[in-house]
Structure 1
Amino acid sequence: MKQMSQRTSRRELLKLFGVGGVGLVAATATSLRYAEPAYADQSTAETENSEAVSSEAALQRLLDGNQRFMQQKRQYPHQAARDLQAVATVQHPFATLLTCADSRVPGEIIFDQGIGDLFDVRVAGNVVTPEVLGSLEYAAALLGTRLIMVVGHERCGAVTAAIQGGALPGHVSTFVKAIKPALASIKTKSADVNQQIDQAVTANVQYQVEQLKQNSSVLAQLELERKLKIVGGRYDLDTGAVTLVT
């Protein structure tokens, strides 16, 4: 791991952003009109803030939610009007997701979570750019999320483009460039192009996890203090399953 020249404390970050112990984002429900969906009754313990949820508990909550999604037993937690009002002026997400922007990988749905539960950062190829890194630092250092999960998915278009190479329009090449270093870690490449893409999806998740750990003194310090856990996951488009990537 690279040695970082500076260590930024949470207190310093709070001063930088000019906030105290509450979230910055406020929402309003005055213009929203909808019928409440069926949802499981939520206890006070289940709506506790992120600082009371350990990294392990946060990870288990995600995995349990994914199981419900796969089994078509979704509880639709924290999606009622009262939940909207509860997070209108403060947020305490229990986990942060860095996922691909693919329309088939919506975090709250595949993990069966609700409003205010997850801090979502979505970008094609689930790559770590400076803006993405800053967003993840914000979630961990200021909002207090104890878990970051980087989620890739099979048949990812961004990963496919990185493997195929060739000219790309506009700024598409920017996220492809961020994926290509991950391909170098694949020791034995399959002759089958679909298997190559599958290998690359996993390699890219692993690479982006390492980028988070190596390039952020904020996240590295939180990990060192056991206040943060960073993991990788792979989403199966066919089954809906999320498996951990080591």
Structure 2
Amino acid sequence: MEDASQLTPDQALELLKEGNRRFLEDTTYEPSMDRMRRLELAAAQRPFAAYLSCSDSRVPPELLFERGLGELFIIRNAGNTLCTTALGSLEFAVTNLQVPLIVVMGHEACGALNAAVSLARGKTSFSGNISKVLQSLLPAVLETDPWADHIVDAAAISNVRRVVRELREEASPALLEPQREGRLKVVGAFYHLDTGKVDFLDPVD
């Protein structure tokens, strides 16, 4: 178990990369989940990274990075959108739990992005609540060109970059100040369903 207070943002990121490398090797992973570990976590949690990820059942961050109980503070919603709940949760992770790293991760064949593409093309209508979710994804779809080939994956990457950019440049002081001071890093990632590999995206200009 890694203590977030002892890690730099780059060290936290390397732990995730190392975990995904182990995941790709198909080795058996058995994180500590015994009674002593549960009692330790009942007293306090010290995650080393906060994660904004898609709700897709095929994309469980703890497994993809071979992390155990109490190591990742995860926020999941359809399309990994930066809604008010997601933003507030990330702020909590940074201000109250002092996580040094935020990862925003999209993935291959995202159903939410596929639905947003259908909406942009005028092919499908959805219920009011689903439409609200998809509206936040439309800018990424339109930015990519809704009629292009392989639009869903391209839009998913575009959406990750948009969310990362907002967290780096337009978020509240609770997130901007620790980034300026070097105590927090925000990065984007993209998960490939077929291979299991997570690509960390280049910095957003």
The TM-score with structure 1 as length reference comes to: 0.76
Equivalences for residues 121-132 of structure 1 within 5 A: 121-132=75-86
Look up the SS of the partner of 1:78 in the other structure.
Answer: coil
Gaps of 5+ in 1: 1-46
Check the 8 A contact 1:151/1:232 in 2, yes or no.
yes
* Aligned counterparts of 1:197 and 1:173: Cα–Cα separation in 2: 17
Whole-angstrom CA distance in 2 between matches of 1:50 and 1:72? 27
Aligned partner (choices 91, 94, 108) of residue 45 of structure 2: 91
Q: Which residue is 2:113 aligned to?
A: 159
Q: Following TM superposition, by how much is the alpha carbon of 1:48 offset from its aligned partner in structure 2, in angstroms?
A: 4.3
Closer, same or farther: CA 129–71 of 1 in aligned 2, 3 Å: same
State the AA in 2 paired with 1:80: D
How many Å apart are 1:197 and its aligned residue? 0.9
Measure the CA separation in 1 of the matches of 2:195 and 2:75: 23
- What is the aligned length? 197
Which of these residues, 152, 160, 173, is aligned with residue 205 of structure 1? 160
- Aligned amino acid, residue 85 of structure 2: E
Matches within 5 A, 1:1-246: 47-165=1-119, 166-186=124-144, 191-192=148-149, 195-213=150-168, 214-246=170-202
Percent identity over the alignment is 38
Q: In 1, are the aligned partners of 2:24 and 2:197 still within 8 Å (CA)?
A: yes
1:209–1:230: 8 Å Cα contact kept in structure 2?
yes
2:21 partner SS: helix
Distance in 2 between residues matched to 1:199 and 1:223, nearest whole Å: 27
Structure 2 residue runs of 5 or longer lacking an equivalent are: none
Partner amino acid, structure 1, of 2:78: A
Please report how far the alpha carbon of residue 81 of structure 1 lies from its aligned counterpart in structure 2 after TM superposition. Answer: 2.6
